[in-house]
Amino acid sequence: MDVSSGLRETDLDDLAVPVAGEAAVRCAQVLADAGMRVTRQRLALGKMLLLGDHRHVTAEGLHEEATAANLRLSLATVYNTLNQFTEAGLLRRIAADGIKSFFDTDTSVHPHFYLEGEDALVDVAGGLAFSKLPDPLPGHEIERLDVIVHLRRKRP
């Protein structure tokens, strides 16, 4: 069996990653707490996502942001890293329109507005209440309710 063919870009880039600066140290701790090895990519993107206010990002949007910050990361690397963060429980993936996934740094279950045509996902402030939930199928229980309220701009 050829194990080298299974190595991904992130696996090849994690030797002696310098963790310099207060944000990098905090980010490395967040990664370690989630059971993740520290790699250059995870550190760079983690600093943008995991240390500040809650955010909703797409791989494309974060890639643009990284490029603007002179971080040379491919879109595929950004996407892979977002998926790894999600698998580690640091992000929650939200499929808003069937094509594009958003990644939420708030991993709790909470309702969202999706702004059609503006490519934005925002939290619904103040929560949401339902007066009638369906009975679960026999042998099942309701695990969670993912709510996305789709908005569009009013025509003037």
SS3 1: coil
CB of 86 to Zn ion, least distance (A): 14
| Residue type at position 49 | L
- Of 68 and 125, nearer to Zn ion (C-beta) is 125
Length of the chain: 156
Span of 32-40, 79-87, 106-114, 141-149 interacting with Zn ion by CB under 5 A: 106-114
CB of 2 to Zn ion, least distance (A): 41
**Does 104 help bind Zn ion (rule: CB under 5 A)?**
yes
**Does 123 help bind Zn ion (rule: CB under 5 A)?**
yes
CB of 136 to Zn ion, least distance (A): 25
Q: Which two tokens stand for residue 91?
A: 């992000």
CB of 123 to Zn ion, least distance (A): 4
CB of 112 to Zn ion, least distance (A): 5
- Of 73 and 96, nearer to Zn ion (C-beta) is 96
Residue 24's region, left for phi above 0, alpha for psi from -120 to 50, else beta, is alpha
* Torsion angle, alpha carbons of 94, 96, 97, 98, to 10: 20
Span of 70-78, 82-90, 122-130, 145-153 interacting with Zn ion by CB under 5 A: 122-130
Quote the CA–CA distance of 90 and 79 in Å, as a whole number.
Answer: 14
Q: Which residue has the tokens 């980010």?
A: 27
Element (H, E) at 156: none
Q: Which two tokens stand for residue 125?
A: 């402030």
- Of 77 and 104, nearer to Zn ion (C-beta) is 104
SS3 78: helix
Please give the residue ranges that form the binding site for Zn ion (CB under 5 A): 104, 106, 123
